[in-house]
Structure 1
Amino acid sequence: MTTSQREAALQGLHDRHAAELWRFALRLTRDPQVAEDVVQESLLRAWRDPALGTRTEPQARAWLFTVVRNLVVDRWRSAANRHEVAGIDFVEAGVADRSGEVLDRWLIADALGSVSREHRQVIAAAYYEGRTVAEIAAELRVPEGTVKSRLHYGLRSLRLVLQEKGVTSP
């Protein structure tokens, strides 16, 4: 791939995805400048990637969102971001790093906002409150089959939203 072809491919990626990547990074970082830096770094990595012109549009989009997510996780975990002093360990021994879990919760909460209210309601009741299908059906005054159907299609929608964000693979 020639330099001009790489530039054109990168310009196309930027034009199609930069705004949405920035919004995604902003939701994760809550800092516009950091979000902009993360998007620039992700596009720089796309430029350096030998597979730049060989990916399909959905693959390129998923790859970019994954890069943004990983860059945010790396920034969040970095000692400089937490203003740690080198050589001093403030964390108790045996305490696990839960930063990935926290980021995953942010991503899932954001993705849940994209599914319908009915689907979100049954997913939250079943998975966050630990309630049974029968309990959910009784509260919502709908048949148990409807609750099962809403759970099935709600989780399916949630999975698609997460795939679009590059969090999970298809």
Structure 2
Amino acid sequence: MTRALSRDRMTASDEALIRTLYEEHGRALLAYATRLTGDRAAAEDVVQETLIRAWRHSEALVSGKGSVRGWLLTVARNIITDRIRAREARPKEVAETPISAVESDHADSVVDSMVVMEALDQLSGDHRDVLVEVYFRDRSVGEAAKVLGVPPGTVKSRSHYALRALRDMFRSREVVLKEAAG
């Protein structure tokens, strides 16, 4: 109890200790903390917390074991490590997005769907069937192979060539649209 009471009142010698520590090691502590955090404001907080811990454990500083600067840098590193661990333990915060009373225009998605359906109609039946099973029905390669009655390797190669054909169709469509607009 007396130790807690004595810690509540900072004596002139405690204040001199902290002032001396800051004058001798403050710049090095700040540089070190800034390098570890990448943020000057966070580094200043770390330095402040380090000096508070030095005040609370002043006996460790005057014990003569090791260097004072080494002790301070170790405390600063531990504070930074604790903050990183605490941040990673919490779920990431996501900024709220305002909910709009007016829904966005869905015309673009309708046009996109029509373009994709038109392009699928231009593929061979085998290629179209593989894409429908894998992408629209969300089946794995093995599941699509069972449904279509073909080996999994055939599903993979057909989907590869079907996607390549779709990509070529969309590229040629884009060229035609650019020429028409230009």
Query: What band does the TM-score fall into relative to the shorter chain?
Result: 0.3 to 0.5
Give the helix-richer structure, 1 or 2.
2
